Amino acid sequence: MPWQESTIMSQRREFVLLASREGANTRELCRRLQISPTTGYDLLRRYAAEGEAGLQDRSRRPHTSPTQTGPAMEAVIRELCQAHPTWGGRKLHHALVAAGHDAVPAPSTITAILHRTGLLDPDPTTARALRRFDHDAPNVLWQMDFMGHRPLDHGRVHPLTILDDHSRFLLHLTACVHERRTLVQDHLTRCFRQYGLPRIILTDNGPPWGTAGAGGVTRLDVWLMQLGIALWHGRAYHPQTQGKVERLHRTIAADVFGHRTFTDLDAAQGAFTAFREVYNQQRPHAALGHAVPLSRFAPSPRPFPETLPHLEVAPGDAARKIKTHGVLTFRNRSFFLGRGLGGHTVGVRPTDHPARFTVHFGAFELTTIDLTYPDEME
């Protein structure tokens, strides 16, 4: 009978040992094992050159892929996308053609590249919840969450976790006394000063992160956008969106809280610090091929600016200052954007539809407004 998957290595080893003996009839062995002579002779050649390593399965990927986008063009696509993070595959395609590049891939191919490299920024309320792949470099996306409070002998502890999506490097594990925005911002500032800035931070919905829905833009959103960081929210009631950080929380629950309690925040922080060192530097991670997270992580090349940069309104956009209560007034219509934007200036940009405009805060597109629906956001 043909070789069985569960014993294929042992059968290959047996074949080459038998076929290597003096006077062995290789073709007869192939016939009895129901493999082609081509396969048999290839195994013998590989075994002679590489030993047992030559008996491992080989990739069936072709040596050349004439239609595959080359690394140089892919680098150009990624650079353009990073300069214009709100552009999709179609816009990037036309921009590359207009710039005079040769052999520009089709929009669908560019979209596939953006998906694969984690650069696609879909609608925050729908497609973002489906992003379950690994990003291909550190600091593209960090996942952040509170683990949920735990009792202490004196009070409660709220563990704050910040995890790099690509490397699983645990950037921050802090024993917090509460879960308010000001404290989160202080800890993020410490993290940014040490490791630099990511491109995106993913959180769940609700305080202190805000939501992707009717709550509008929060002060935390605004601060992060001023730093050039997008804050993404997972879809409500779908914790699997943040599967990596949720899995981390289960590990912390077992390794840190499993069989002990702590007297106070300082004692909890001591245990957190010890856990983080082991998790990053010693604990093999199955999803990393049993490497440790530190081996896959590098600090971000984007340093934390001690002075927040001023976000300019793009040329051609209509500049509008948001009222204190978070309302944009434009052409005698009012649109609620979020209290976090109060006092800041946004740009209102025309679209192909005469009644629809997109609203931008720096490089970030916030929403679309439609003048045919007064006092509403689309």
| Average pLDDT in the chain | 84
Return d(Cα 346, Cα 365) in angstroms, integer. Answer: 10
State whether 194 and 328 are in the same domain. no
Q: Is 368 helix (H, G, I), strand (E, B) or coil?
A: strand
Averaged pLDDT, 71-75: 83
Assess whether pLDDT exceeds 90 at residue 263. yes
Classify residue 115: in a domain, yes or no.
yes
Classify residue 309: in a domain, yes or no.
no
Residue 231 burial (10 A CB sphere; 0-12, 13-18, 19+): buried
Q: How confident is the model at residue 177 (pLDDT cuts 50, 70, 90)?
A: very high
Return d(Cα 196, Cα 189) in angstroms, integer. Answer: 9
State whether 277 and 332 are in the same domain. no
State whether 165 and 249 are in the same domain. yes
Segment 341-375, tens digit of pLDDT: 999 999 999 999 999 999 999 999 999 999 987 55
Assess whether pLDDT exceeds 90 at residue 237. no
Assess whether pLDDT exceeds 70 at residue 305. yes
Classify residue 64: in a domain, yes or no.
no
Residue 342 burial (10 A CB sphere; 0-12, 13-18, 19+): middle
Averaged pLDDT, 28-32: 83
Assess whether pLDDT exceeds 70 at residue 83. no
Checking DSSP bridges between strand 356-361 and strand 141-146, what pairing results, if any?
A: unpaired
Segment 218-230, tens digit of pLDDT: 999 999 999 999 9
State whether 151 and 105 are in the same domain. no
Assess whether pLDDT exceeds 80 at residue 327. yes
Q: How confident is the model at residue 64 (pLDDT cuts 50, 70, 90)?
A: low
Averaged pLDDT, 31-58: 85
Return d(Cα 14, Cα 197) in angstroms, integer. Answer: 55
For tokens 């077992």, what's the residue?
254
Return d(Cα 193, Cα 189) in angstroms, integer. Answer: 6
Number of domains in the chain: 4
Question: How many helical (H) and strand (E) elements, i.e. helices and strands, does the chain have?
Answer: 10, 12
State whether 212 and 115 are in the same domain. no
**pLDDT (0 to 100) of residue 16:** 85
* Domain span including residue 107: 71-120
**pLDDT (0 to 100) of residue 129:** 37
State whether 247 and 111 are in the same domain. no
What is the domain-level CATH number for residue 216?
Answer: 3.30.420.10
Assess whether pLDDT exceeds 90 at residue 194. yes
State whether 164 and 292 are in the same domain. yes
State whether 110 and 244 are in the same domain. no
Q: How confident is the model at residue 279 (pLDDT cuts 50, 70, 90)?
A: very high
Q: 293 or 65, which is more confident?
A: 293
Segment 97-134, tens digit of pLDDT: 877 888 888 888 888 888 777 676 444 333 333 344 56
135, β-bridge pairs? none
